[in-house]
Amino acid sequence: MIIPKQKTQCQLDGVKRCVWNWEGTSKKKKIKHTLLLTGDENKQKRRTRRAVVRLIDFEETRTTGWAALIDFKFTLDKAWISHGGNVSLYFFFFMRLSSTLSLFGIPYSSPMIITTSFMVYGLDCSRVGLMYDVSDAQWRNFRNNLPILTVVFGLFTLIANGLRAFCNLKAEGMSIVWLLISLAYLSYLHGAFIIFILSIASANFLLVKIFGRTKYFPFVLWVFNLSFLLCNRVYEGYSFASFGNHWAYLDKFRGTFRWHICFNFVVLRMISFGYDYHWSDHNAYVDQEKHIRHCPICSSGKTCYRMLQERSVGIDKFSYTVYLCYLLFAPLYIAGPIISFNAFASQLDTPQKSYTLKQVIWYGFRWILSLFLMEIMTHFFYYNAFAISGIWKQLSPMEVFIVGYGVLNFMWLKFFLIWRYFRFWALVSGIEAPENMPRCINNCYNLESFWKNWHASFNKWLVRYMYIPLGGSRRKLLNVWVVFTFVAIWHDLEWKLLSWAWLTCIFFIPEMIVKSAATSIKVDNVFKEFIFRELSAVAGAITITCLMVANLVGFVIGPSGISWLKSVFLQAEGLPTLFGLLVTFYIGTKLMFHVSDSKQRIHQS
């Protein structure tokens, strides 16, 4: 590992620079590295710095280490699960360990030597004397505001829970309390631009009340909300000056956060409110009696999230106060997780009982440990900075994959921390929202599983309010294009996101066809079961590779890099790498099968 040995100050082009001299070893030879940070060090408020890195020989193990560690951690975790003496498990574990450790040897056979200077964006000096990656704006803003967010949410939940306990408040009373708290919170975030949010929300409420019982209401609801979703992005949130010069002075009170970014979640909640009102006099999709018999949570006397979502609330809950409280609920406003109106309104009456106080405390403690892991990652492994700086263009095929794999794991951990932080405060406030990231990213071997276990609450929303109304599994091959296109547009109006969505659909369709065909295959002997399992593992390896390609295009190289990616991997140097990746993913998929089998045996016993 390279360690900073000396820090000096110098003047370059009239600007004070922070110069780090690095020393380390590469191929048993001592080398020196110099890192120049642009910008005045006294201006600590700068959230992003640009680093000019002049390297004699790049430290390869810093690039491969994190990918190998995450891969090996996933494999090692599974070894603790008893598999009844299954010898094949230990064989595949050994193969997985071998393929993981081989990552550390890759740079020595294919050294990443860069003879020219290049720019690395988003590195900063930390208080402990190390560089750390602050290239991701979303994570940087969340991390910097974490102390004040914690104080604010602690105060909010203390006030709300205290009033609930002392005044014995129910849904209407708690909705007023949380609405006042949330309005104060949004006034700080968005300033005068909260007027736009309240105006659009009020128009949607009137639309639901007027057309909510009509046959064509879903069409009206979608047109209204999609129009504002697109217009908000195109006009970047509007300005008061566009409504007349006498309103222009309000543009000065913008707050600290752009309102149209958060409004994407508000759109989902407005659609949820509309559909739940539209369905309030219809029977639920779920057979409630059958569900209670088979659900371990509901059979124990509690109520699971699915039952809260499917069971319609009383018509009195569809009031303007409860509606606004649902849209603006402070703990879930910025990033979710996404909760349906039925589930939210029912928990205003009766706080969640799925988590005990001890479990909520343990949930928060685990979050702190995960934050510590992220700090280690951003201080020692700069994958996101490499990706946005375009360094991948100078790397070998294996190194491109490692950077992409590192970025994917960084993104998973980033969203894991953000979503679970806000969900923790919702739990403390008595509201249980669906858990995002319920499974590790390295434990998904098909696209359907990956999507269900990434933004899980969004997936539940899409299934309930989009996929099923469009026809569900009867039109699955068509619906997947509509759903993923909406997902891309909902995130942002960018071609790389649309490319990611359409590539995912292209890879999704063969998987759905194979799964449909597999259900008709009758496995009635050991040999057929073996063949079926091997073919499933091969399919899993191909799916993981396709998933990596889709995410490389969506989040690292962009649509313009597709032709470059093909030219790199489909040539003499890239084909061995591609084959090695497929073998590694095949072994990993076999391990996932063993984990799944073990869980089934434990559940049955």
Q: Does one domain contain both 128 and 189?
A: no
- pLDDT digits 0-9 by tens, 342-372: 999 999 888 888 888 999 999 999 999 999 9
Does 107 fall in a domain? no
Which pair of tokens denotes residue 206? 């009137």
Residue 333: per-residue pLDDT: 95
C-alpha closest to that of 449 among 547, 364, 524, 326: 547
Residue 188 counted as domain residue: yes
pLDDT at 156 over 90: yes
Q: What pLDDT sits at residue 101?
A: 41
246 and 128 within one domain: no
Q: Which of 316, 350, 384 delimits the end of a domain?
A: 350
C-beta of residue 594 within 8 angstroms of C-beta of residue 92: yes
Q: What is the pLDDT of residues 271-293, one digit of tens each?
A: 999 999 999 877 555 666 777 77
The whole-number average pLDDT for the span 407-415 is 90
Answer whether residue 371 is part of any domain. Answer: no
Each residue's pLDDT tens digit, 56-100? 233 333 333 333 333 333 333 333 333 344 444 444 444 444 444
Domain holding 52, by residue range, is 3-59+124-135
181 pLDDT above the threshold of 70: yes
Percent of the chain whose pLDDT exceeds 70? 77
Is the pLDDT reported for residue 21 higher than 80?
A: no
202 and 303 assigned to the same domain = yes
| Same domain, residue pair 203 and 129 | no
Asked if residue 183 and residue 308 are part of one domain, the reply reads: yes
Place of tokens 């990918």: 67
Most confident of 217-226, 384-393, 523-532: 217-226
Same domain for 130 and 193, yes or no, is no
Task: Give per-residue burial for 56-78: e unless 16+ CB within 10 Å, then b.
Answer: ebbbbbbbbbbbbbbbbebbeeb
> Is 465 domain-assigned?
no
Which of 90-94, 101-105, 546-550 has the highest average model confidence (pLDDT)? 546-550
Helices (H), 334-463: 341-349, 357-380, 383-388, 397-428, 447-452, 456-462
Question: What average pLDDT does the segment 558-571 reach?
Answer: 75
At 2, the pLDDT band (50, 70, 90 cuts) reads: very low
CA dist 11 to 37, 41, 324, 585, Å? Answer: 12, 12, 55, 50
Kindly report each contact of residues 388-394 with a partner whose C-beta sits within 8 Å and lies 24 or more positions away, as own/partner.
388/121, 388/122, 388/135, 389/118, 389/119, 389/120, 389/121, 389/122, 389/135, 390/118, 391/118, 391/120, 392/556, 392/557, 393/564, 394/114, 394/118
Name the residue type at position 530: F
Mean pLDDT on 214-220? 92
221 and 340 fall within a common domain: yes
CB contact at 8 A, 340 and 461: yes
Confidence at residue 78, expressed as pLDDT on a 0 to 100 scale: 38
pLDDT band at 482 (very low <50, low <70, confident <90, very high): very high
| CA–CA gap between residue 127 and residue 109 (Å, rounded) | 36
For residue 51, what are the β-bridge partners? 37, 120
Mean pLDDT of 426-449: 87
Report which listed range, 133-137, 204-208, 333-337, 504-508, is most confident: 204-208
User: Using CA atoms, how far apart are residues 300 and 298, in angstroms rounded to an integer?
Assistant: 5
Which helix (H) or strand (E) is 276 found in, with range? helix 259-278
Q: Per the domain annotation, does 450 fall within a domain?
A: no
**Does any domain span residue 503?**
no
Look at residues 135, 157, 192 and tell me which one is the last residue of a structural domain: 135
3-state SS class at 147:
helix
Contact in structure between 355 and 373 (CB atoms under 8 Å): no
* DSSP 8-state secondary structure symbol assigned to residue 17: E
Residue 76 token pair: 């090692």
Q: Is the pLDDT of residue 312 over 90?
A: no
Evaluate whether 197 touches 264 at the Cβ level (below 8 Å): no
Taking only Cα atoms into account, the Rg of the chain, rounded to an integer number of angstroms, comes to 26
Arithmetic mean of pLDDT, 250-270: 90
Q: Which comes out higher in pLDDT, residue 415 or 408?
A: 415
pLDDT at 58: 34
Q: Give the whole-angstrom CA distance, residue 159 versus residue 280.
A: 32
Res 119: pLDDT:
63
Q: Give strand pairing partners of 15.
A: 12
Tally of domains within the chain: 2
Band the pLDDT of 446: cuts 50, 70, 90.
confident
Range from 298-307, 349-358, 364-373, 394-403 that averages highest in pLDDT = 364-373
**C-alpha to C-alpha distance for 103 and 68, rounded to whole angstroms:** 6
Query: Are 173 and 298 found together in one domain?
Result: yes
Residue range 495-501: mean pLDDT, rounded: 82
**pLDDT value of position 62:** 36
Report how far Cα 159 is from the mean position of its chain's Cα atoms.
Answer: 30
Range name among 24-28, 159-163, 409-413, 435-439 with the lowest pLDDT average: 24-28
Dist. CA 285–CA 109, nearest whole Å: 58
Residue 205 CA to residue 274 CA, distance in Å, equals: 8
pLDDT given for residue 338 in this prediction: 94
pLDDT band at 572 (very low <50, low <70, confident <90, very high): confident
Location of structure tokens 């699915």: 306
**55, 178: one domain:** no
Q: Is the Cβ–Cβ distance between 369 and 408 less than 8 Å? A: no
201 and 310 co-located in one domain: yes
pLDDT > 90? residue 15: no
What's the pLDDT at 445? 79
Question: What does the pLDDT read at residue 287?
Answer: 64
**Residues 204, 321 within the same domain:** yes
Crossing angle for the helix pair 217-234 and 476-491, to the nearest 10 degrees: 40
Task: Give 3-state DSSP helix, strand, coil % of the chain, rounded to 5.
Answer: 70, 10, 25
Helix axes 397-428, 60-79, angle to 10 degrees: 60
Q: Which amino acid is at 60?
A: E
Judge whether 27 lies within some domain: yes
Q: Are 264 and 310 found together in one domain?
A: yes
Q: Phi and psi dihedrals of 339, rounded to 5?
A: -125, 145
Question: What was the pLDDT predicted at 46?
Answer: 39
Token pair for residue 74? 């996933």
**Is residue 76 a part of any domain in this protein?**
no
Instruction: Give the range among 72-76, 201-205, 592-596, 597-601 with minimum mean pLDDT.
Output: 72-76
Half-sphere exposure for 32 (CA within 13 Å, toward CB): 6
Determine the Cα–Cα distance for residues 120 and 231; give it in Å rounded to an integer: 34
Which tokens hold the place of 570?
Answer: 């489909």
Q: Is the pLDDT of residue 396 over 90?
A: no
- 326, 350, 374 - which closes a domain: 350
Give tens-digit pLDDT for 505-536.
887 887 777 777 766 666 667 777 788 788 88
- The DSSP code sequence of 151-195 is HHHHHHHHHHHHHHHHHT--HHHHHHHHHHHHHHHHHHHHGGGHH
**Alpha-carbon span 337 to 335, nearest angstrom:** 6
- Judge whether residue 178 has pLDDT over 70: yes
Report the mean per-residue pLDDT for the chain.
Answer: 76
| Top mean-pLDDT range of 11-25, 192-206, 429-443 | 192-206
